[in-house]
């Protein structure tokens, strides 16, 4: 079993929909939870990160961590075609050795 | 200047050959990472450099892989005696000491071993 599991998708939604992207992790020592966005043939870029449990909001994006169930979520409100990308979750005990999920490919159609 | 740069952007090589991949981090960034991204495997940590400290090589998959960072800046990842399973995208990232949570990734080098 991988330490961080993520459904590869693709997840297809119409423009304006609320998107829910999810990961699970198995290592209870993980304290840092990151979401990256990766466009085709580009490197990942950090969207948000949270430390320990709780929610964090940034514009249309909300990151949520539930340590009791080891569940990580990213919500995208009012999704746009420009949000079409692969979303990677990552977790770790520190920033230096993050364990990444395989990524979920999101397609937002106009 | 600009972001993290990597060269070459694409590399095709024959099994058994050695390859060198280069990473130019953002100027002033003290931390540098190498990752490997294979289809369906996600990003796999390879090695981490921080300033003048000894690198964390715990992610290197075999002794055919090595990396160095000269002068605290440019880094080279070397793969000796390449195998077909080495085919992947090799990504480099750097981060500043005061904001280690933010890794800035380069575009990657796509390696194909025939």
User: Taking a C-beta distance cutoff of 8 angstroms, is the pair B89, A38 a contact?
Assistant: no
Contact A97 B48 (CB under 8 A): yes
Within 8 A by CB and 6+ apart from B71, the residues are none
User: Taking a C-beta distance cutoff of 8 angstroms, is the pair A78, A14 a contact?
Assistant: no
Nearest CA in chain B to A2: B41
Arithmetic mean of pLDDT, B75-92:
97
Q: In B, what residues contact A, Cβ < 8 A? A: 4, 31, 35, 40-45, 48, 50, 56, 58-59, 91, 93, 95, 100-108
- Name the residue among A62, A96, A103, A93 with its Cα closest to residue B101: A96
> Residue A29 burial (CB < 10 Å; 0-12/13-18/19+)?
exposed
Distance between CA A45 and CA B95 in Å, rounded?
12
pLDDT class of B39 with cuts at 50, 70, 90: confident
> Residue A10 burial (CB < 10 Å; 0-12/13-18/19+)?
exposed
Distance between CA B34 and CA B109 in Å, rounded?
11
CA distance B41 to chain A (A): 5
- List pLDDT tens digits, range A9-59: 899 999 999 999 999 999 999 999 999 999 998 999 999 989 888 899 999
CA distance B29 to chain A (A): 14
Range from A34-38, B36-40, B110-114 carrying the lowest mean pLDDT: B36-40
Predicted pLDDT at B55: 92
Termini Cα distance of chain A: 37
- Name the residue among A2, A45, A37, A27 with its Cα closest to residue A94: A27
A contact test, residue of B42, B55, B88, B104 with most A CBs within 10 A: B42
* Mean pLDDT score across all residues of chain A: 93
Distance between CA B18 and CA A4 in Å, rounded?
32
User: Taking a C-beta distance cutoff of 8 angstroms, is the pair B111, B21 a contact?
Assistant: yes
CA distance A97 to chain B (A): 7
Contact A45 B105 (CB under 8 A): yes
Residue B14 has pLDDT above 90, yes or no: yes
Nearest CA in chain B to A98: B45
Q: What percent of chain A has pLDDT above 90? A: 83
Predicted pLDDT at B1: 54
């Amino acid at each position: 079993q991988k330490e961080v599991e993520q459904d590869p998708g693709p997840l297809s939604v119409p423009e304006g929909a609320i998107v829910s992207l999810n990961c699970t992790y198995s290592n209870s020592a993980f304290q840092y939870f990151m979401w990256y966005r990766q466009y085709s043939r580009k490197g990942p870029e950090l969207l948000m990160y949270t430390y320990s449990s709780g929610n964090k909001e940034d514009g249309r994006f909300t990151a949520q961590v539930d340590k009791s169930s080891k569940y990580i979520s990213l919500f995208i409100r009012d999704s746009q075609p420009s949000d079409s990308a692969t979303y990677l979750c990552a977790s770790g005990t520190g920033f230096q050795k993050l364990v990444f999920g395989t990524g979920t490919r999101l397609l937002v159609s106009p | 200047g600009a972001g993290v740069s990597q060269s070459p952007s694409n590399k095709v090589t024959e099994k058994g050959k050695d390859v060198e991949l280069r990473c130019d981090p953002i100027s002033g960034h003290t931390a540098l990472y190498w990752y490997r991204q294979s289809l369906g495997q996600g990003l796999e940590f390879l090695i981490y450099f921080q300033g003048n400290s000894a690198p964390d090589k715990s992610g290197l998959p075999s002794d055919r892989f090595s990396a160095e960072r000269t002068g605290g800046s440019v880094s080279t990842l070397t793969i000796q005696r390449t195998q077909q399973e080495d085919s992947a995208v090799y990504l480099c990232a750097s981060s500043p000491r005061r904001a280690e949570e933010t890794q800035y990734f380069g575009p990657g080098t796509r390696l194909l071993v025939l």
